[in-house]
Amino acid sequence: MDVSIEYFGETSEAPTTPVITTSETQTLEDNQSDFAEANALFEAFLESVKAKLMGSEFEEVLPKKLAIMKKHFQKSAFHVNEKDFLAMLKETTKTIQNVPNADAANKTVIGFYKVYESLKLYIHSSTIEIEADHLPKVKRLEKIIKLLRKKIKQLDEAEVDFDADENSAYLMCDRYQKKLKKVYAKYCEYIRRNPQNGRAIYDKIQFVHSKCNAINQALSRKYRNSVEFPTYYAVEKCIKKVVTNGKLNLSEQCIKVESEKCFQHLGSILQKKRRQELYDSHLDFIDLTSDPASKDVALANTLKKNYTQGKEKLDQLYQRYVEKQELGEDDVSSEEEQSSSKSDAEDKLTTEETTNILVNDL
């Protein structure tokens, strides 16, 4: 026997209390008058997509994709009227309308995919069927998750005691976060959901920054699900393979320039994903409703200075990899990378040692 459970406003880290229901998902036809703004924005979005893709290689499949998109939109009545979705729809439409013709097709497809994934994720997560025998365990896990999040917030706000060893607030917070991750993974197992859904760092990468579409497609395939920062050599190797297999008319110098450009853009994409992931993970603990830097000139200047310094260091890092390539140094794994691998291994051991016994009993 299965039980249908609806989740309203669910996030990847803070699952809400389930509400058992037998009703169908509300559609736009039920309350058409309440969704005038959403409908208008959606129609403008579709018109922008059609205008940019007409005459492109995607024109043939466009009618089928638009039909699926409209169907998903009609099934997502609650979601499409949310402020976040409306803002995203406005921004995506504006981006598509303003994109240069040279990049129009690829960037329009990315915008289309972004809206489509938002609707698809909502539909798949809004109604979940679980076995009736698992319902008590799901409720129990939700209580544990709530308690762990409360404890993490308390520790996150606590003063750091540098004299404390294993019981410092920092280390305890880290242990509770690992426990929360373990419990949430078990929770997702019962509700048949991927625990990575909704996390920015796991968003698929669509690379469109090369003028050669074959290179864009190859890099998108290779790094679509990547969370690790790529090496310059791996990017260059991928581009050289595309040039060779596709018999592209690119000289060694052109390949070098293309590799440098693609490496930097790919790194920037991954950086943005990590920043968004960091922001999302701290969102529930942020009580401020406005940016403190907007009212503090000194803070704003400090942040701007740090950003400039960080960008300069990143540019230097890019250049270092390029210089090593020119010198023929194939192995450029740094001490920092080796140290990071060692740290990851230690974290794995710590996670296993601190696993919550409640989870093991489930």
Distance from C-alpha of 29 to C-alpha of 263, rounded to nearest angstrom: 47
The pTM score is 0.49
pLDDT at 239 over 70: yes
pLDDT score, position 270: 85
Chain segment 282-307, per-residue pLDDT in tens: 666 665 556 777 788 898 899 889 98
- In this prediction, residue 334 carries a pLDDT of 44
Given its phi and psi angles, is residue 55 left (phi above 0), alpha (psi -120 to 50 degrees) or beta? left
Residue 344 structure tokens: 């990851």
- At residue 25, the pLDDT reads 40
Give the pLDDT mean for 57-68: 86
The percent of residues in the chain predicted with pLDDT above 70, rounded, is 72
Distance of CA 68 to the CA centre of its chain: 23
Stretch 204-221: mean pLDDT: 87
Give me the chain's average pLDDT, please. Answer: 75
Give the pLDDT band (50/70/90) at residue 258: very high
Please give the Cα distance from 197 to 218 (Å, whole number): 24
Name the helix (H) or strand (E) containing 97.
Answer: helix 83-98
- Within 10 angstroms of residue 2's Cβ, the number of other Cβ atoms is 10
Range among 101-105, 135-139, 191-195 rated most confident: 135-139
Q: Which residues pair with 3 in a beta bridge?
A: 130
| pLDDT-derived band at 5, boundaries 50, 70, 90 | very low
**Angle 107-111-113 from CA coordinates, rounded to 5°:** 115
**243 pLDDT more than 90:** yes
216 pLDDT more than 80: yes
pLDDT for 22 equals: 31
Q: What is the mean pLDDT of residues 172-196?
A: 85
For residue 332, pLDDT over 60 is answered with no
pLDDT at res. 181: 87
pLDDT at 360 over 50: no
Q: What is the CA radius of gyration of the chain?
A: 24
Give buried/exposed letters for 235-264 (b at 16+ CB in 10 A, else e).
bbebbeebbeeeeeebeeeebbebbbebbb
Whether 361 has a pLDDT exceeding 80, the answer reads no
Question: How far, CA to CA in Å, does 264 sit from each of 98, 311, 317, 349?
Answer: 23, 12, 10, 34
pLDDT at 40 over 80: yes
- pLDDT score of 240: 93
Q: Which helix (H) or strand (E) segment is 130 a member of?
A: strand 127-131
Distance (Å) of CA 29 to CA 26, 39, 40, 122, 124? 8, 11, 15, 18, 20
